[in-house]
Amino acid sequence: MIVVLVMAATLWGIGAAMNTPRRARWTMIGVLFAGVLAIQFILPDGHPLREGTGSDPRLWLLLGGLGALVFAYRKGLMALRARTNPVSIDPPAQAPGTFAEVELERYARHIVLREIGGPGQKALKTAKILVIGAGGLGSPVLLYLAAAGVGTIGVIDDDSVENTNLQRQVVHTDTRIGTPKVFSAETAIKAQNPFVTVRPYHRRLTADIVQDLFAEYDIVLDGTDNSDTRYLVNATCVALGKPLVAAALTQFEGQISVYDPANDAPCYACVFPKAPDPALAPSCAEAGVLGPLPGVVGAMMAVETVKLITGAGAPLHGQMLIYDALYGESRKIALKRDPNCSVCGTL
Ligand SMILES: [Zn+2]
């Protein structure tokens, strides 16, 4: 029996020296234990191998039972600890606009950028951004805004996660099918960055709430594929003087611009005075859409938003960036304000 115990200790020692994970080392010892038990039960009485590994199998069974008991006790203790001490750490309360040490470390790669720096990161932290739609474009937008350290992120959507969404809507997961998208997104955002405040609105964006809702935010991002919503969002942003970062997708192509008549850029209605005929503008469900495409264009929306907040570079004011995924091409076209625009013409 001593020989076997020495073998087990040697196995453990070699494992430790080679830095193998504890689980692998325990597996090796389990295999050794099973081998010894097999020898004890299969070989006849008096066989030298059986004698050499201890003559009585009951001793080994007792040892195995004790081991299992200790293992079960440890597991139980760990489960209890996890329940009383949840792993999800709530960030310590901070004065608005100030950073905990761990946040400074988190945003270090932003803070070293001359165009962002400490003041830019502070501006991100105090910014309040509203995202319309937690779908294909909303997914990367929400994750990247959270990762970038945008302090308050609102998200409005009345849908629930469906299996057909998961090909491109990376903020959601298979296990959250059936969950309202805004709550699924909230879970993902909090997991990405616990220092962000998320405000989920599980409802449709309607004319009766839009003014009050937008008034609470600095910038609005629109990634919906519903033209009624697009015009409502645009008119409200114009009325309140809020910049609107809007993008749209077709099968393999995406377009993005920053609509902001308060800063002499056109509004959405200047460029698209009338909604396209539904027959000419099929939805993603009808026409299909390349899975990574909303990732590319949604990430561009997050980039434009970070630029607007921090003042870095020049946002896509009066310009539309068009990305053609099928041929790997992008181009920019100039957009002009329409002095007779029914929405912003009188500003
Ligand atoms: Zn306009």
Q: Are 115 and 310 in contact (CB under 8 A)?
A: yes
Long-range contact set of residues 62-66: C-beta below 8 Å, sequence gap at least 24 = 64/33, 64/37
Q: Where are the domains of the chain?
A: 2-84, 119-334
Q: Where are the alpha helices (DSSP H) in 276-337?
A: 284-287, 293-310
Poorest-pLDDT segment among 30-39, 285-294, 307-316? 30-39
Q: How far is the CA of 267 from the centre of ligand 1 (A)?
A: 4
Q: Are 126 and 95 in contact (CB under 8 A)?
A: no
Q: How far is the CA of 341 from the centre of ligand 1 (A)?
A: 5
Does the pLDDT value for residue 83 go beyond 60? no
**Which SS3 state, helix, strand or coil, does residue 102 take?**
helix
> pTM value?
0.73
At residue 87 the predicted structure's pLDDT band, cuts being 50, 70 and 90, is: very low
Q: How far is the CA of 342 from the centre of ligand 1 (A)?
A: 7
Closest CA to 131 of 323, 305, 322: 305
Q: How far is the CA of 271 from the centre of ligand 1 (A)?
A: 7
Overall average pLDDT of the 236-264 stretch: 97
- Over residues 194-239, the pLDDT tens digits come to 999 999 999 999 999 999 999 999 999 999 989 999 999 999 999 9
Overall average pLDDT of the 183-190 stretch: 98
Q: Please report the pLDDT score of residue 22 as a whole number.
A: 62
253: Cα separation from own chain's centroid: 23
Q: Are 184 and 201 in contact (CB under 8 A)?
A: no
Overall average pLDDT of the 325-336 stretch: 98
- Indicate the average pLDDT of the chain: 88
- Over residues 20-34, the pLDDT tens digits come to 656 666 767 677 767
Cα dist from 59 to 36, 71, 122, 289, whole Å: 11, 18, 66, 65
Q: How far is the CA of 259 from the centre of ligand 1 (A)?
A: 9
> What is the phi/psi pair of residue 150, to 5°?
-65, 125
Q: Does domain 119-334 have CATH number 3.40.50.720?
A: yes
Q: Residue 249: what residue type?
A: L
Q: How far is the CA of 312 from the centre of ligand 1 (A)?
A: 25
* Helix, strand, coil % over all residues of the chain, rounded to 5: 50, 15, 35
Q: Retrieve residue 60's tokens.
A: 């080994």
- Over residues 131-156, the pLDDT tens digits come to 999 999 999 999 999 999 999 999 99
Q: Please report the pLDDT score of residue 88 as a whole number.
A: 47
Query: For the chain, what is the total number of helices (H) and then of strands (E)?
Result: 14, 8
Q: How far is the CA of 270 from the centre of ligand 1 (A)?
A: 4
